[in-house]
Chains A and B, each alone.
Chain A
Amino acid sequence: MTDFHLNTKPLIKNDLIEIVSNYKVLHFDDFPILYIGTNKFGNKIIGSHLEEDDNSKTILTLHTILSNKEYHDFMNNKISYLEILKNSSSISIVEKDYKFKIKKAYDFDFNFIPADYLPTPESFCPISVKAHSLEFSISLKGKLADLNKAIADEVSKIQNGFAEFLEDRIKSLKGFDFAPKALLQPYAVGSFKINFELDIKQKANSKKAGNLFLEQAPISQYIAEYIKYIAEDFTEDKEIFESDNAEFSESLKSLENRLNELYEKALIKKPNDIHKIIKDDILKSTAKFETLTEQVGENFESISILNIEKGNEIETPIAFIDTNFSKNFQSSIEQIEIAKKGLVEDDSFKYYKIYIYHLNTDTRTGNAFIRNLDNEEEMSKPKIKINGEDGLDHTKYTESLYLNKWIEVKAKAKRIGDKVKSLEIEFEE
């Protein structure tokens, strides 16, 4: 066996790199060649087989702690195993006995891995791990979520936003007569998880009730691919949504094909304008998805949307939402709205009634609620900036913030359609 000079490497505690739950073999060839799981602290660990020695009856493996982003990107074929190792500062070589029990673990630097043991640049996740079900989990990570806690208001917005997102996608399947219900399951730690099961039944009085071919329709796959499209391709495809005649990207075509397949396998007549339907539905769905992105940042750092394989509770990550993604996503939606509806700006300051729900008194920026112009039932959440240099403490602005009060302000608004996107507020005593 090759000498990895382990006697010169620092030992690390087995707890850190031992997989104790969620173990899944990604590739098997005489030995588990590539596998994944979590340690006792809930960190994702990826492991691979290096070598075995019949004399010392020792198996050597590489174990590496993954960030949530790395885990998501690897499982979705965005980065290779080689890239993970190259950029990792938490690689270890793990000595196991011939019953796969860990004997010792050593901290190991990527640069010391012998070249003939290095994964190739094509070492992407084996494709055989894809699985889809109608069970989902939304996992919050970082900050408060790592203490297994979450702000009730944020959780409520996330669970409502995602539940409505799921239900609306099923309802939008014309001709299926589905009455979907997104069922909430008990919260789970790790760091903070919200679990959903999408229950799809046909309406009791539907003429199509009893369709025996429905089971063959890949609904779960369609929903999972839909979420993946929104999370991975939508922002790159934003120009397609800005105009009515743009050609579809490969990923959007693939989603359209999946929708076609849904109708074909269920033997339900396809709507004629399926091309337009999928495009309109995606735009509609972004509002619910945007609700999720709006919660990220203050009390937790990221959201992972996981698809749960029935029976063995294997998680497949299908979307990863962090602050960067959220900004990019929200800006893409805004650009599409501007392209479709145009941006209108006030020429002079006017009076508006607002309620400030977030304000940084140092930068004088924040967010407020304002009722939409043509529909008072609906509200926009414009960004606000308060001009001037006088302190904001003990003003009507902080009064609105702390006492949940609606106030009148003098401001110039930027609007897209009937939604107010930003307010430049003139400071008043």
Chain B
Amino acid sequence: MTFEKINTDTSCNCLKGAIIDTENSYVRKLRKETLEEKDFLTHWERDIKPDTDDCEIICSHKAVSINQFNPETEAQILEKYKTTFKINPKKGAYYLKFQFLQDAGKVKHTPDFNTNDESHYDFYKSDDFNFEKIQILDTVKFA
């Protein structure tokens, strides 16, 4: 598994502390009912690049935001998704529940206590990531 795309054009070591996790379940909000390639594009891939040398910010832009899903985190994640929906319903009413397969990439726990997003993880895609590298468990309508 290689991470050329993550490591090019930055001197930040974004993968430091990141691990392979094929055990836990994760969720990611979808734009529509069906999964699209755009749903797993990073800000960096979309050319949303901050003017900063701060590695924490740069690495978060090179990762896909996901949440680790379990009975303890479920309520807080749903609250976040529902809050987004209440402010802008166009941001989507579905989330995808999935597990990573081998070679999908690595995850790093990046909780945000200021915004009550304690189960937040950064997902660093491997160079050959595609949707065959995740096992879809469910697509859930939450609003």
Q: Give the interface of A toward B (CB within 8 A).
A: 2, 25, 27-30, 33-34, 48-52, 54, 57, 81, 98-99, 116-120, 122-124, 126, 128
Q: In the complex, how many angstroms separate the beta carbon of B66 from the nearest chain A beta carbon?
A: 11
14 more A-B contacts (CB under 8 A) besides A99-B51, A124-B86? A2-B90, A27-B87, A29-B80, A29-B91, A33-B84, A51-B90, A52-B46, A54-B47, A98-B48, A116-B89, A116-B90, A122-B86, A123-B86, A123-B87
**Which residues of chain A are near B48, meaning CB under 8 Å?**
52, 98-99
Inter-chain contact A25/B115, CB cutoff 8 Å: yes
List 8 A-B pairs, minimum CB-CB distance, nearest first: A29-B84, A123-B86, A98-B48, A128-B116, A120-B86, A117-B90, A122-B86, A34-B87
B119 contacts partner chain A, Cβ-Cβ < 8 Å = no
Inter-chain contact A30/B65, CB cutoff 8 Å: yes
- Least CB separation from A59: chain B residue: B48
Q: Mark B80-97, 1 if CB is under 8 A from A, else 0.
A: 110111111111000000
Please report the C-alpha to C-alpha distance between residue A322 and residue B84 in the assembled complex, in whole angstroms: 33
Given A27-B115, A28-B115, A128-B116, A99:B50 Cβ within 8 A: yes
Inter-chain contact A50/B49, CB cutoff 8 Å: no
Inter-chain contact B81/A29, CB cutoff 8 Å: yes
Inter-chain contact A119/B65, CB cutoff 8 Å: no
**Which residues of chain A are near B43, meaning CB under 8 Å?**
30
B112 contacts partner chain A, Cβ-Cβ < 8 Å = yes
Q: In the complex, how many angstroms separate the beta carbon of B51 from the nearest chain A beta carbon?
A: 6
Selected contact of A126 from candidates B29, B83, B88, B112, CB within 8 Å: B83
**Which residues of chain A are near B116, meaning CB under 8 Å?**
128
B21 contacts partner chain A, Cβ-Cβ < 8 Å = no
Please report the C-alpha to C-alpha distance between residue A403 and residue B87 in the assembled complex, in whole angstroms: 59
**Which residues of chain B are near A120, meaning CB under 8 Å?**
85-86, 89
Q: In the complex, how many angstroms separate the beta carbon of A123 from the nearest chain B beta carbon?
A: 4
Please report the C-alpha to C-alpha distance between residue A98 and residue B41 in the assembled complex, in whole angstroms: 15
B103 contacts partner chain A, Cβ-Cβ < 8 Å = no
- Least CB separation from A128: chain B residue: B116
**Which residues of chain A are near B83, meaning CB under 8 Å?**
27, 29, 33, 126
Inter-chain contact A81/B47, CB cutoff 8 Å: no
Inter-chain contact A117/B88, CB cutoff 8 Å: yes
Inter-chain contact B47/A98, CB cutoff 8 Å: yes
**Which residues of chain B are near A30, meaning CB under 8 Å?**
29, 43, 65
Please report the C-alpha to C-alpha distance between residue A27 and residue B47 in the assembled complex, in whole angstroms: 23
Q: In the complex, how many angstroms separate the beta carbon of A316 from the nearest chain B beta carbon?
A: 14
Interface residues of B in 97-132 (CB under 8 A from A): 112, 114-117
Q: Mark B39-77, 1 if CB is under 8 A from A, else 0.
A: 000010011111100000000000001000000000000
| CB pairs A–B below 8 angstroms (8 shown) | A27-B83, A33-B88, A48-B87, A52-B46, A52-B48, A119-B86, A120-B86, A124-B86
Please report the C-alpha to C-alpha distance between residue A116 and residue B89 in the assembled complex, in whole angstroms: 6
Inter-chain contact B87/A119, CB cutoff 8 Å: yes
Please report the C-alpha to C-alpha distance between residue A116 and residue B93 in the assembled complex, in whole angstroms: 11
Please report the C-alpha to C-alpha distance between residue A424 and residue B82 in the assembled complex, in whole angstroms: 60
Inter-chain contact A50/B117, CB cutoff 8 Å: no
Inter-chain contact B49/A99, CB cutoff 8 Å: yes
Please report the C-alpha to C-alpha distance between residue A116 and residue B32 in the assembled complex, in whole angstroms: 13
**Which residues of chain B are near A48, meaning CB under 8 Å?**
87-88
Selected contact of B87 from candidates A2, A54, A81, A128, CB within 8 Å: A81
Please report the C-alpha to C-alpha distance between residue A50 and residue B81 in the assembled complex, in whole angstroms: 15
Q: In the complex, how many angstroms separate the beta carbon of B92 from the nearest chain A beta carbon?
A: 10
Inter-chain contact B49/A98, CB cutoff 8 Å: yes
Please report the C-alpha to C-alpha distance between residue A96 and residue B134 in the assembled complex, in whole angstroms: 34
Q: In the complex, how many angstroms separate the beta carbon of B57 from the nearest chain A beta carbon?
A: 12
**Which residues of chain A are near B84, meaning CB under 8 Å?**
27, 29, 33
**Which residues of chain A are near B80, meaning CB under 8 Å?**
27, 29
Inter-chain contact A29/B29, CB cutoff 8 Å: yes
Please report the C-alpha to C-alpha distance between residue A235 and residue B81 in the assembled complex, in whole angstroms: 37
Given A98-B49, A99-B51, A28:B87 Cβ within 8 A: no
Inter-chain contact A28/B89, CB cutoff 8 Å: no
Please report the C-alpha to C-alpha distance between residue A128 and residue B80 in the assembled complex, in whole angstroms: 10
Inter-chain contact B47/A33, CB cutoff 8 Å: no
Selected contact of B47 from candidates A57, A118, A122, CB within 8 Å: A57
Q: In the complex, how many angstroms separate the beta carbon of A58 from the nearest chain B beta carbon?
A: 11
Please report the C-alpha to C-alpha distance between residue A118 and residue B88 in the assembled complex, in whole angstroms: 6
